[in-house]
Chain A
Amino acid sequence: MKRTLDPRMSRRLLLGGAGVGLCLPWLPSLSRRAAAEEEGAPPRFLFYYIPNGVHLPKFIPTSGGTDWALPEILDSLEPVRQQINVWSGLQNVPELVTAAHHITGGSAMLTFTAPSADDLVLDVSVDQLIARQISTGTRFESLQLRTAGDTNPAACDDGIPCAYTDAISWAGPRAPLAPLTDPATVFEQLFSGFDPNATEKEQEKRRILQSSVLDAALSQAESLRPKLGVADQRKLEEWFTSIRTVEQEVMRVPEMPDANSVCAPPEMAPVTPTFKDQVQAMGNLMALAFECDLTRVITYQIGRTGSDRNYSFLGVAGNHHSISHHGGLQENYDMLTTINHFEVETYSYLLQRLNSSTNSDGSSLLSSTMAMLSTDVGDGDEHSQYNVPIVAAGQFGGRFATGHHLDLSGATHGSVYITLLQSLGLEIETFGQGATGTVELPTT
């Protein structure tokens, strides 16, 4: 059973009824003059994570180059067919991975690092490196989102920290970035604290007062440090860095609105707790965050690594993780295909929204974005971290050509990330554990 998400529905979800909210006063602080950058629209990065692998035979196009048909799982991408690439054959295998598991796959997804035994340690993730390069001027350097409500038998009740399955973005070795899971909270965070009627002077005062309060809190750390042990100090540092980040966000002076911006934040209406609505609401919020240039880097997990979500609303019996251990049975393949198809459909919905939004130079928001979809393992039954494909939508602001299916067998996710980082001008030769060199991606 397939369902189609209509992009035109997007606003209604957030608007909560016909017509409400569209006429909200313009929020000047929200829309930075993104396109004021002289080179054109700024690049954005989005990562759309789906757990438990995919049914590869229905996911990988059967021919390469630019002449290929969308396989069944990807067929909802037809409206953006010319804006996507499929990169197959990639290995999500950091050097230090000694065994394949959902946790190792999910941990490596953006860090290309193997989780540490008996501790909570990974490394900085690629989205964070990208954010530090392209997103420092926006209100939020990056956003981490996840849709909750799924159990996870693969980890998390066995003494293994949930952070390995519940977060894919890491600010540093011990700093998992716990995602927000409630759409209303995300909306609140994106759009709170703005008074459309405030004068510039009032806004300036507000910035000073807020940052002074945060400063006063930060200075409290000084009196604590000398009487804390190493492990304690690490915890205090986490807090310090986080408050400091927010202080810097508060201090940023928003620019004048970009007349061509499509940012028009509506009122947030309650979202029903059904999974489908939650995912769609998150899609809308991600598009909104980009449209309003509140951030340029977002990572989203449709579920936790190893998610055992129940997809009975798609007519699928049983739970996702269990089904992904398909045992070679056709009925499991079919159910996986249905689940994967739904996941890609939600991704396609977001891509279509980005494709219909324009930057002030007239280009589509999607064209300036790199919006990747990938998964922790390839074949879920084997927990194989080999052959883990990526769908990569958008040209990342003219950096890469789209419409290609490339077989990148032998290359790693890590080397794809090096390629992306270098395309942004970062002088990075290695990434994570053992990734070196770049992959050759067609350019525009």
Chain B
Amino acid sequence: MEGGRRTPWVWLVALGGLAFATACASADEPLPGESDSRPASRSSRDSSEMDRSNVSDDGSDEQSHPGAIPYEYVSDHGRPYLTPGALEEPPVYQPPLPEDPGVVVLRRLNRLEYNNTVRDLLGTALTPADGFPDDTDSDFDTSAQALTISPIHARQYLAATEVLLDDLYTSPERLATVVDCDPVAEGRVCAEGIVARFAFRAWRRPVSDSQLKPLFSLFDVAESQEEDLATGVRLALQAALLSPHFMFHVELDEDPNSSEPHALSEYELANRLSYFLWSSMPDAELFADAESGELSTDAGLESAVERMLADSKAEALVDSFAKHWLLLDAMEKHIVDPGAFPAFDDELKLAMIHETRLFFADFLQKDRPIPELLTTRLAFVDARLAAHYGLDYSGANFSRVNTSDSVRIGLLTQGTILTATSGSAQTAPVKRGRWVLKNLLCSAPPPPPPDIPALEEEDDGSPKTLRERLEAHRSDPSCAGCHQLLDPIGFGLENFDAVGQYRTEYEGQPIDASSAFVDGRSFETPEEMARLLSEDPALKKCVTQQLLSFALGRDFGKGRDDDRLWIGATSQAAGEGAGLASTIRAVVMSDPFRLRRGQEESP
């Protein structure tokens, strides 16, 4: 890793007893996990006219860009942050094929996928993956990089298959769906049939004789141990569940060393689709669509998406995609300081999480336009949450309420978002700003620096608000680059404390929520800020990008042609009103979702 480029860094540090303040400093070295070339990589590129000569195959630039716009003023997609004009209208999608769909790496089932798959495969109510090591990572838990396998996993897999089969064999009705003839009475043909039919479903694709042979060999092992053929069948079922064909999302390349894009096989497409929308295996109908060839037609694929989104299994998107995207997971783990907020308890926390889940599901089911995520005046609350928010609702159950007369507007004023981006006792404006930039606009500033000195207390004796200290801090030009992007959003939300309750003052000082984005657009209230953000064309694109990252298990946006690919997908969605469901549909119809390629052998 070569140093040399001086990058302004942002980082959160504790400031005395305060939870989060900010400080930043110049650092000569990038942080582990951050490529040296990354920040400037797209600054010199235009989305529609790309010079490939300076881009390597893995998507990283190999040349530096001495004349490039300083990174801090430029978003990942090559336009100044929050500057209107550059891309106000989605560009017209022109498919200059072949585009590079990027490399999708073999990944295993994550915990949710494992549980859902065995539910649909075996009809079990057990969720054996709950005890597997945590898959949660910095990205979606479909990220191939994060889904490692160790002997600890393998032990758990072995134990899980035993538990699952014990469970199956205690339920005659369910067992009959798998073991549908009597191997002891009918012999080997019956036994092989059971195993072959099961392997097809468990492996979610047609199975060859040579792949079945090792399973059939377990019949002989059983015999040699003086066990009957029924035991042999059970052993084979267990082996099928331990097979890499079960454990992985298998997608094959005829020529794994060729980077020429090719269409996924129909069964592979069926699997991508069902794990994207359901976090589970395809059902019989989807298998039939794959078998008939229906799925490879645009019309067939579209109607499959319609059907699957309408199925209750699509609620998995809340537990998979929204869990990470909208901080449901982070909120669950978030700890609020009981000293600072004695009234905050698990009931309130769960209510907040439930609100965000219902909110996301509502957008999904109704295909509500994405900008409304930030501006809707509808909230989902129960009495407890309503009281916390200062809303007038006393029903015990969750209900949709109109918040037109309140300060609550859209996602940004929800307890989940406001709390999970705070410290345990105090707000963290920079963290809030960073979350909005990263998850809603896909233009986060660089990750934290390796090391920074703590922000010095001003010692002129006069008390300063956090905002005043941050602003003083921004007078340092090397800090300003990042902080002028991060801080305004954080300031705009300062009327909401670390558990999302509205406030007009903090520690005796009035809160000033007015600020301005770097392009000059200013706002006075959280509502005005939310409206400005909702108008940013980056929002729609970012949602598409997040969905693609989740669906493909790779960090979408880093690949060579990702810019063009997701702009294409967004344009399609925009034509249909840019609702959340439409965007999901567009993602499925997009090239990166339907194509794959191998990877040239690298040293």
Q: Which residues of A contact B (CB under 8 A)?
A: 98-101, 103-104, 107, 114-118, 120, 140-141, 144, 148-151, 153-164, 166, 171, 174-182, 184-185, 188-189, 192-193, 205, 208-210, 212-217, 219-221, 223-224, 226-232, 235-236, 238-243, 245-246, 249-250, 308-310, 312, 317-319, 321-327, 329, 331-332, 381-383
Closest to B454 in A: A327
Contact A239 B217 (CB under 8 A): no
In the complex with contacts A118-B35, A235-B105, A312-B338, A319-B138 CB distance below 8 A: no
Q: How far is the CA of A98 from the CA of B34 in the complex (A)?
A: 13
Could you list some 6 contacts between A and B, CB below 8 A? A116-B32, A159-B34, A227-B253, A243-B242, A312-B339, A381-B454
Find A208's partner among B1, B148, B225, B253 (CB 8 Å cutoff): B225
> In the complex, what residues of A have CB within 8 A of residue B145's CB?
120, 161
Question: Interface residues of B toward A: which range?
Answer: 35 or more
Q: A153-B12, A158-B447 are in contact. Are A212 and B423 (CB under 8 A)?
A: no
Q: Do the beta carbons of B152 and A231 come within 8 Å of each other?
A: no
Q: B16 touches which one: A116, A188, A205, A329 (CB < 8 A)? A: A329
B437 CB → nearest A CB, Å? 12
Q: Is the beta-carbon distance between B451 and A100 smaller than 8 angstroms?
A: yes
Looking across the interface, which residue of chain B has its beta carbon closest to that of A182? B131
Contact across chains for B12 and A181 when beta carbons are under 8 A apart = no
Cβ-defined contact, B250 with A224, below 8 A:
yes
- A331 pairs with B256, CB closer than 8 A: no
B378 CB contacts on chain A under 8 angstroms:
none
Rounded to whole Å, the gap between the CB of B579 and the closest CB of chain A is 28
* Complex alpha-carbon distance, A93 and B224, angstroms: 56
| Cβ-based interface call for B96 (8 A) | no
- Known A101-B31, A310-B424; judge A216-B239 contact (CB<8 A): yes
Give bound CA distance, A210 to B242, whole Å.
Answer: 11
Other A-B contacts than A159-B33, A209-B227, A310-B335, 18 sampled, CB-CB below 8 A, are A117-B1, A156-B138, A157-B138, A158-B448, A189-B155, A212-B235, A216-B215, A217-B214, A217-B242, A223-B208, A228-B253, A229-B253, A229-B599, A239-B108, A242-B149, A249-B151, A322-B14, A325-B14
CB distance from A1 to the nearest CB of B (A): 14
Q: Which of A160, A176, A219, A326 contacts B447 (CB 8 A)?
A: A160
Q: Which of B13, B450, B454 contacts A99 (CB 8 A)?
A: B450
- Nearest CB on A from B259, distance (A): 10
Which residues of B have CB within 8 Å of A231?
103, 105-106, 144, 599
- Cα–Cα distance between A245 and B154 once the two chains are bound (Å): 8
Distance (Å) between the CB of B95 and the closest chain A CB? 25
List chain B residues, Cβ under 8 A from A219: 214
Within 8 A of A (CB), among B285-344: 330, 333-335, 337-340
With an 8 A cutoff between CB atoms, is B137 at the interface?
Answer: yes
Residues of B that sit less than 8 Å from A by CB: 1, 3, 12-17, 19-20, 27, 29-36, 38, 103, 105-108, 131, 133-134, 136-139, 144-159, 162, 208, 210-211, 214-215, 217-218, 221-222, 225, 227, 235-236, 238-239, 242-245, 247-248, 250, 252-254, 256-257, 330, 333-335, 337-340, 423-425, 431, 447-451, 454, 555, 598-599, 601-602
In the bound complex, CA of A331 to CA of B16 (Å) = 9
The CA-CA distance from A164 to B238 in the complex, in Å, is 33
Residue in contact with B146 in the complex, picked from A103, A144, A161, A175, CB distance below 8 Å: A161
- A153 vs B600: C-alpha distance when bound (angstroms): 37
Q: Which residue of A lies closest to B431 (CB)?
A: A153
- B451, A383: Cβ atoms under 8 Å? yes
Q: A217-B239, A232-B105, A242-B154 are in contact. Are A101 and B451 (CB under 8 A)?
A: yes
Q: Enumerate chain A residues within 8 angstroms of B106, measured Cβ to Cβ.
A: 228, 231-232, 235-236
A317-B339 CB under 8 A given contacts A117-B35, A158-B447, A236-B106? yes
Return the chain B residue nearest A323 by Cβ.
B14
Q: Given that A151-B334, A239-B244 are known contacts, is A228 also in contact with B33, CB under 8 Å in the complex?
A: no
